[in-house]
Structure 1
Amino acid sequence: MDDIYKKIKQLRYEQGMTLKELSEKTELSVSFLSQIERGTSSLAITSLKRIADAFGVKMIHFFEEDDDFHYVMKKEHQRPFKMESSDSTFIKLSGHFPERKLEPFIVKLKPRQKDVELVRHPGEEFFYILQGALIVRVEDEEYHLNEGETIHFPSTVPHMWENPLNQETIIISITTPAIF
């Protein structure tokens, strides 16, 4: 993940863009972008998407070491990363090829970790509980899931999750659309 910060700065220099210009294009503050480029702040996927759009590149640009297509994600390339404002750890599971629709991850939730607000975004979400338990709120419904159970819902409806246990919960999460 450290390479993301370097690639953002490199793209900005290559395109002759100031931090202020990038800020205007992304609606992210100059100070936040400066922290991102120095690697002193975490970066949400939504913020990375804004930055990618501002540079006219796909998000995969920040994660891949070359432009080759690949279908396999070898274990040694499955590196954990964090997203801004989340205590969860994510591990990307998918390869890279044009027109991908799915984004599979392993997600590790800390004991008693809980989202602070409902979110909604385009696409769908699917969770499979590998270890532990998960409470998922989708609109007004609350679903209690244990190991081996799943949930699949449109992510356009307000939703959030919670690990109700005093131990780590691990899930497989598959979302659409693909974001990397």
Structure 2
Amino acid sequence: MEENIGQALREARKAQGISLRALAAETGISASLLSQVENGKSQPSVSTLYALVSRLRVSLDDLLGLDAHGASQPAPQDRDAEPTGASRAGLILQRAADNPVLNMDSGVRWERLASFDDGLVEALLVTYPGGASSSVEGTLMRHSGFEFAYLLEGSLTLALEFDRYELGAGDSFCFDSTRPHMYVNQGRKEARGLWYVVGRNAAEHTRERLADLLGRVVGDSEANPANVVEVLRRLGAEGLAADS
């Protein structure tokens, strides 16, 4: 189920009142390339996609039009049809044929795997064809979160800051994604692996939860808090109650 995320990126940009040229300047992407991506005439590289979603503060699920359980929303005429994913008793079931797919520059392919709706983990089946790279410009990328990966087949080079690591089938690794990094398949055979990006949206979720807690505290029918210490005390109490 191949997805075109250009329109979703354009809608997210416009919803935040950001001009195309401003977003291009802030992410270090040319305005012409960004325009081509938004119009579906060009596919972004991995590094370009991460730069855009990080600036726009959107998740892959947002871009792929997935609902809270990872299932694609059915078209209006198919509203009565069974969704592509199923969730029962804590189980998220997603059939292989229903994996949302992102095809990016140089042939890199992402398949979004089943995951919970907390937004803390992005699960991906990633394919790098021979000669493919996460950055066509050869520049290292960085983003929030932590990457955990297991290479299923093929070989891949990981450039992490000033070091390079040659990875083969069966190798696994993890690192802080704020460190500059890049992936390159220097061979002829494709490389495939499982990627789990943990906590890329954690900061946004933390802000949302704090805002919710603060709203409940300030909106309390009791007297308004006298000072910051009282606000923090109440936030702590609300947080403990929410976790229990």
Q: Is the 8 A contact 1:49 1:59 kept in 2?
A: no
Counterpart residue number, 2:128: 109
After TM superposition, give the deviation of residue 128 of structure 1 in Å: 0.7
Q: 1:171 aligns with which of 177, 193, 199?
A: 193
* 2:188 maps to amino acid: N
The change in CA–CA distance for 1:168 and 1:147 in structure 2 (over 3 A counts) is: same
Matches within 5 A, 1:71-86: 71-83=92-104, 85=105
After TM superposition, give the deviation of residue 164 of structure 1 in Å: 3.2
Counterpart residue number, 1:88: 108
| Aligned-partner SS, 1:148 | coil
After TM superposition, give the deviation of residue 62 of structure 1 in Å: 2.6
Distance 2:12 2:184 in 1: 37
Matches within 5 A, 1:23-172: 23=20, 26-27=23-24, 34-43=35-44, 44-50=49-55, 52-53=56-57, 60-65=61-66, 67-70=67-70, 71-83=92-104, 85=105, 87-98=107-118, 100-114=119-133, 115=135, 116-172=138-194
Distance 1:69 1:36 in 2: 27
Counterpart residue number, 2:205: none
Q: Which runs of 5+ in 2 are unaligned?
A: 71-91, 202-244
Deviations 1:157-176, CA, capped at 9 Å, x for gaps: 22222223221111111113
Bigger relative CO (Cα 8 Å, ≥ 6 apart): 1
The change in CA–CA distance for 1:75 and 1:142 in structure 2 (over 3 A counts) is: same
Identity %: 24
After TM superposition, give the deviation of residue 24 of structure 1 in Å: 6.2
After TM superposition, give the deviation of residue 25 of structure 1 in Å: 6.1
Counterpart residue number, 2:236: none
* 1:22 maps to amino acid: S
RMSD: 3.2
Deviations 1:86-129, CA, capped at 9 Å, x for gaps: 5411111133513x311121111111334512222222112211
After TM superposition, give the deviation of residue 134 of structure 1 in Å: 1.7
Structure having the larger proportion of residues in helix: 2
Distance 1:7 1:172 in 2: 25
The alignment of Structure 1 onto Structure 2 pairs a total of residues equal to: 167
Q: Is the 8 A contact 1:73 1:95 kept in 2?
A: no
Give me the TM-score of the superposition, normalised by structure 2.
Answer: 0.55
Q: Which runs of 5+ in 1 are unaligned?
A: none
The change in CA–CA distance for 1:22 and 1:157 in structure 2 (over 3 A counts) is: same
